[in-house]
Copies of this chain bind each other. A is one copy, B any other.
Amino acid sequence: MSPELSRLSVNQETVRQLSLPELAESCAKAGVGQVGLWRAPVQEYGIERAGKLMKDAGLTVTSLCRGGFLTATDPAERARALEDNRAAVDEAAGVGTDTLVLVSGGLPPGDKDLYGARERIADALAELAPYAGERGVRLAIEPLHPMFASDRCVVSTLSQALDLAERFPAEQVGVVVDAYHIWWDDQVPAQIARAGAGGRIHSFQLADWITPLPAGVLVGRGQLGDGSVDFRFLRRHVEATGFDGPIEVEIFNEDLWARDGAEVVAEVAARYLEHAC
């Protein structure tokens, strides 16, 4: 592996067209030593089996996506969400990663109270954080771009994510610094410093911001270098805090999914070197 690639992790969803064995093979071929995984394909392959596959291929699993969706007001729905998140923690430990990414959840139907929804996340974390901590798994709250605030994640900024995380020990709850979601925010340098000082940068992810956004906006992320995000600027701030963990590339993009997956992995590595190193 080239030393420049030693920090790179390729998130599985970037190349969702690849099976887990194909992902492992493509990473080895491209000189990539780390991967981020998703629950559904890992469950399908078998959790321990997926962990062994990655380990045998010399790959480190840097994160599992995802738990969360903790904003329900309905008690039965809330109980189901907590149960599912405990399962996600178990799966993270089972597949051999210390980091579970949380997408916190949007507003319940008809509800307009963002503040209340954020408090319900805190209540849920109070139950989940010790459970995760006992299993050696860190919960990583991911602020999602404000365009997802109503239907996916009421946590829209690093500042809001840290306000939640800091109620718990850093080894239990931290944040994801995802360039795609936060690149527009002028508070980010200060909030990265805050997160780093508290040891709460549990994941650092990259995708580029491109327009026009597609309908539904979920799968409109760009390959590194195709958009407006200054990755070196963000990386400089993240590393100024002493962070030396993985840098994970997670792109949701129909064009990338339609291509040969191994070729996309190689392109991610090349773009990473060109735009984020």
A160 to B186, CA, bound (A): 8
Q: Mark A122-146, 1 if CB is under 8 A from B, else 0.
A: 0000000000000000000000011
Q: Which residues of B sit under 8 angstroms from A186, Cβ to Cβ?
A: 114-115, 118, 157, 159-160
User: Is the C-beta of A216 less than 8 angstroms from some C-beta in chain B?
Assistant: yes
A interface, over-half SS: loop
Chain A interface category by residue count: 35 or more
Q: Are A211 and B160 in touch, CB under 8 angstroms? A: no
Whole-angstrom distance between the alpha carbons of A12 and B184 in the complex?
A: 30
State the CA gap A146–B216 with chains docked (Å): 16
Instruction: List residues 207-235 of chain A with CB under 8 A from any CB of chain B.
Output: 209, 211-217, 227-230, 233
- Taken together as a complex, chains A and B put the C-alpha atoms of A151 and B151 apart, in Å, by 24
Q: Tell me which residues across on chain B come within 8 A of A150, comparing CB atoms.
A: 184, 209, 211, 227-228
Report how far A21 CA is from B113 CA in the complex, Å. 40
Give complex CA distance A114, B227 in Å.
13
Indicate whether A57 reaches chain B with its CB closer than 8 angstroms: no
Complex interface bits, A110-121 against B, C-beta within 8 A gives 1, otherwise 0: 011111001000
Once the chains are docked, how many angstroms separate the CA of A230 from the CA of B145? 19
Q: Is A149 an interface residue (CB 8 A)?
A: yes
Q: Which residues of B contact A216 (CB under 8 A)?
A: 212-213
Cα distance, A55 to B147, chains bound together (Å): 39
Could you say which of A114, A118, A183, A233 has the most chain B C-beta atoms within 10 Å of its C-beta? A114
Chain B residues, Cβ within 8 Å of A154: 184
Nearest-neighbor residue (CB-CB) of A189 within chain B = B115
Q: Taking the nearest CB of chain B, how far is it from the CB of A155, in angstroms?
A: 10
The 8 closest A-B pairs by CB, nearest first: A149-B184, A112-B230, A150-B228, A215-B215, A147-B147, A146-B184, A212-B216, A151-B211
